[in-house]
Every structure is written in structure tokens, then in C-alpha cells.
Amino acid sequence: MISRLGIFTADQYARATIRGRVDGSAISYDLLQIDDHPTEAEISRFEQISLGFRTSNGTTRLTFRRRLLEVDTTTLELVQQWHPRDAELHVEDRAASNCLTSAELAEQLFPVFPHATIEASDRLLYVLRISLGRGKAYIIEPDGELLQYICPPFVVYLNSREPYRCPVRRLIAARAKRSFLQLGLPQRCGEYAIERISCVHPEADSFCKRDPRLRICTRSVFEHHPGLDVLRTMNILNKAYFPLERLVEGANAAFQSLKPGGLWIVGRTSGNTNDVTFFRRTEYKWEVMARIGKGSEIEELVDGAFPTTSRGSSFSKNNTQSTLLRQASLPPCHFGENSLAA
């Protein structure tokens, strides 16, 4: 019964796991919260929640351990052909979700290129919990987009694409959306207990703490951030997520971000199968250097797209707000500003 209404405590999650009732249950994003020394069970809970997490712009946060290992292998082969061991490579892994696969890339890359640095980024690295008392709470994105309403014993998604078929859930969701507006946020955010819940995998977080060559920050995949030797944008520039013109913008952002000679890794994972293209940026165009599986579904689009000349990023306002996760302290209550939404 519990898991049909929702899972909002660690005990409920543990009981639902034993009974095999976790899949398909609404699990509170509150349970992403774990401390610095997580148990295996807490890590597995974190990973399970990441699998089902859908963000406000319609993308999922689905990622998992070893998902991109064969992509890492080909990346390393190419980079080793092109650069000496002492090269100061600037690598970015964008739309990295909880950054676990970025940490896996770091484990492969740093022993071979000790002077390399990797920036793992995503548009969403934490969510905010607004507590209302008596166990009720909203979970929102930092820009104010609603994700969940927790109203024990219910956990209700507020960004579902389809309205709920269950009338009780539909009613709770509609009321929750209306009441949220009455909270008067962000102006009155001082009146509520607001907590920040990290969406970064604890293993990626502890990797950053012991090795500053890996860092994590907020960044959009559409941002122009020049000077890169390697850029990875896996499982984000997909036709299912973005219209064609937006995908071309993504390709242009990659072009403007890479140095001539730089490597762009773009593709999609279906189940355990990777379809990836490895592009090399020349002075004026892309060249395909390698493929895994069928290659990227946007390969033709990229080939046909004429890269634009350098121009200011449409996300420049947010660029200035890009903060290293570890430097940030208080939960910012900054919704109302332009979000990094796709």
C-alpha cells in the first residue's frame, strides 16, 4: 500500500525494496539526501531515484555506473594519438546528471594524462526542499520550477507530462500548484525552511574532494565556453528532447567551445548499447574520427550545419552564476531569473 501512495521515508524505501515495490512508485527526492559517509544501501537508493528523475525541461537524469566505459576507452585512444602525456588537457563532460560517469572518465584519464582537468556539469545539480510543517514539503528546481509535493502519505509529481489518472492525485497536484503561488516566493523565502538537496553522486563528490582535477559546476549544454580539448555531451542532444534547430545550436556551442583539433563526443545510449560519434573540430568544420554502434543520431545534422562564428552565449547571464558546487553555501532562492531550461 505504502509504495502505491508514495515513498517519503528511508524506512518506507527499505521496506518497499524488500517487497520489490520500488519500481513505479513515487519516491520523494528528499531521499537523495545522504551524508558524507553513505552506506551501500543509501548509494543504491540515490542511484534508483536518479534513474526515475525527470526534470522540468522534460529531460531525464537517467545515468548509471559503467554506462559510458566503452566511450571512455575510444576517447582515450583518440586523445592519446593526438596529445603527449604531459598535455594540459581541458575536458568537459556536460549534461553529466549526477556526474558518476564523469568520475569514471576521470579514473581512466588522469593516470594517462596527469595534467588534465575535467569539468563535469549539468543544468541541475541540486534541488530545494521547502518545508511547510507536518511533513508537507515542495521539492523545486533552483529556478522555482515545481517537481514534487510531499503530503504524507502521498508523494505527487508536479511536472508530469500527463495529468494523473487517479482523481485524488490529480486533485492534490492541482491544489499544490495553486498553493505554491500563494507562498509568495521568492520574495518571502526567509519565512520558510529551505534546504538544498544535492543531486551529485556521493562517489563523484568524494572524487572532487580528494582530486581537484575533477570539478563540478552548473553549465548549459548550449553554452559557448572556449578553450576545450575534449567535450562530451552524451544522452542530451537527442531528437526526443530537442527540436532540430536547438540541436544545431548545441552543435554550434560544441564547435565554439572546442579548440581547433578538439574532440567532441556525442551520442545516445539505448539500454546498454551506445551509438556515438567522435568528431574532430578542424578550423572550419567537423570531421568524423570514430563511431560506436550506429553513430550519433544527429550526425547528419551536424555535418550539414555550418558552424556559426563566435558570438555571445544566450546563457551569459547564467554563466556568471555558474558556481563551483563546493563553494556554494546557502541554498540560493533565486527563482525568477532566467533559468537554464532547455
Binding site for ligand SAM (CB under 6 A): 55, 57, 59-63, 67-68, 94-97, 101, 122-124, 220-222, 234-236, 340, 342
Per-position b or e across 68-88, b if 16+ CB within 10 A of its CB = beebbebbeebbeeebeeeee
Whichever of 16 and 216 has its CB closer to ligand SAM, that residue is 216
Whichever of 187 and 323 has its CB closer to ligand SAM, that residue is 323
Residue 82: enclosing H or E segment and its boundaries?
A: helix 69-82
Whichever of 45 and 67 has its CB closer to ligand SAM, that residue is 67
CB of 170 to ligand SAM, least distance (A): 26
CB of 236 to ligand SAM, least distance (A): 4
Residues 6+ apart with CB under 8 A from 245: none
- Grid cell 511547510 is found at 132
Contact 94, 59 (CB under 8 A): no
Whichever of 194 and 237 has its CB closer to ligand SAM, that residue is 237
CB of 221 to ligand SAM, least distance (A): 4
Nearest to 193, CA basis, from 127, 129, 126? 129
Whichever of 139 and 234 has its CB closer to ligand SAM, that residue is 234
Whichever of 49 and 124 has its CB closer to ligand SAM, that residue is 124
What is the distance between the alpha carbons of residues 321 and 206, in angstroms, rounded to a whole number? 23
Three-state DSSP at 324 gives strand
Residue 8 buriedness (CB in 10 A; 0-12 / 13-18 / 19+): buried
CB of 196 to ligand SAM, least distance (A): 16
Whichever of 16 and 158 has its CB closer to ligand SAM, that residue is 158
Where does 199-321 show beta strands of DSSP type E? 214-218, 228-234, 258-270, 273-281, 286-292
| DSSP of 112-163 | H-TT-EEEEEES-SEEEEEEEETTEEEEE-TTS-EEEEEETTEEEESS-SSP
In degrees rounded to 5, what are phi and psi of residue 57? Answer: -90, 10
- Grid cell 545510449 is found at 269
What is the distance between the alpha carbons of residues 84 and 95, in angstroms, rounded to a whole number? 28
CB of 188 to ligand SAM, least distance (A): 28
CB of 79 to ligand SAM, least distance (A): 18
CB of 47 to ligand SAM, least distance (A): 12
C-alpha cell at 121: 556539469
Whichever of 5 and 221 has its CB closer to ligand SAM, that residue is 221
CB of 315 to ligand SAM, least distance (A): 8
Beta-strand relationship, 90-93 and 228-234 = parallel
Whichever of 3 and 269 has its CB closer to ligand SAM, that residue is 269
Tell me the CA distances in angstroms from 165 to 7, 141, 152, 160, 171, one per residue in order: 19, 25, 19, 11, 10
CB of 166 to ligand SAM, least distance (A): 27
